[in-house]
């Protein structure tokens, strides 16, 4: 499973990263984590608000810090 975190690297982006890792680890999911911080790359991905999370290249969260439980509910 691939997680992509989109954002500038701010505190909210870091918190979303931590929550995503926690959710995946709690479910025993092996994952790859990619962080996209370049503004042009974020815009090219169609992200209008950060932080954002994509799971396997599908944007599932945008413009908020989801809790670990919220992220876990998105993991199949």
Token representation of residue 74: 């998105």
pLDDT of residue 13: 95
Active-site residue, 10 included:
yes
Q: Enter the pTM of the model.
A: 0.93
Active-site residue, 30 included:
no
Reported as a single tens digit per residue, the pLDDT across 24-60 is: 999 999 999 999 999 999 999 999 999 999 999 999 9
Distance CA(27)–CA(24), nearest Å, equals: 5
Cα angle vertex 38, ends 61, 1, to 5°?
A: 45
Q: How many domains does the chain have?
A: 1
Exactly one of 5, 13, 16, 24 is catalytic; name it: 13
Token representation of residue 55: 């799971």
User: What CATH number does the domain containing 29 carry?
Assistant: 3.40.30.10
Residue 36 structural domain: 2-74
Asked if residue 5 lies in contact with residue 51, where contact means CB atoms within 8 angstroms, the answer is yes
Exactly one of 1, 10, 29, 43 is catalytic; name it: 10
Residue 76: pLDDT over 90: no
Asked if residue 6 lies in contact with residue 54, where contact means CB atoms within 8 angstroms, the answer is yes
Residues composing the chain: 76
pLDDT of residue 48: 94
């Amino acid at each position: 499973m691939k997680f992509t975190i989109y954002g500038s690297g701010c505190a909210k982006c870091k918190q979303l990263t931590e929550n995503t890792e926690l959710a995946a680890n709690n479910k025993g999911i092996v994952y790859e984590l990619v962080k996209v911080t370049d503004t042009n790359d974020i815009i090219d991905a169609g992200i209008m608000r950060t932080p954002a999370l994509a799971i396997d290249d599908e944007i599932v969260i945008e413009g908020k810090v989801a809790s670990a439980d919220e992220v876990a509910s998105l993991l199949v």
